[in-house]
A = this chain, B = another copy of it.
């Protein structure tokens, strides 16, 4: 099958920042993203779990497939949101089907 080069950006960020992050993604011209729930984790600010939590606590994972030439713009936009907040951003090379979608 014909595949196309793309980048897979995975942003693990506090749930309270989700809306701000996705707004920035849309502004940066990202055509799509997917949000996955996160049930727990650990980092410099300690270990946490979502069990029994009532508020909008914890993190979410936002996955975003984009054309390589859009990466720089996306990262800059993301950085503005993530900068002062806890969370991690990783970028992986990937191939996608149906490139017209990205």
A-to-B contact residues, CB < 8 Å? 1, 3, 6, 8, 10, 12, 22, 26, 31-44, 47, 59-61, 63, 65, 72, 75-76, 78-79, 82, 88-98, 101
Q: How many monomers of this protein are in the complex?
A: 3
Interface majority SS on A: helix, strand, loop or mixed?
strand
Which chain B residues lie closer than 8 Å to A92 at the CB level?
8, 92-95
Smallest CB–CB gap between A89 and chain B, Å?
A: 4
* 7 A-B pairs with the lowest CB-CB distances in the bound complex, closest first: A32-B43, A34-B41, A1-B75, A89-B97, A35-B40, A90-B94, A91-B95
Which chain B residues lie closer than 8 Å to A90 at the CB level?
6, 8, 65, 94-96
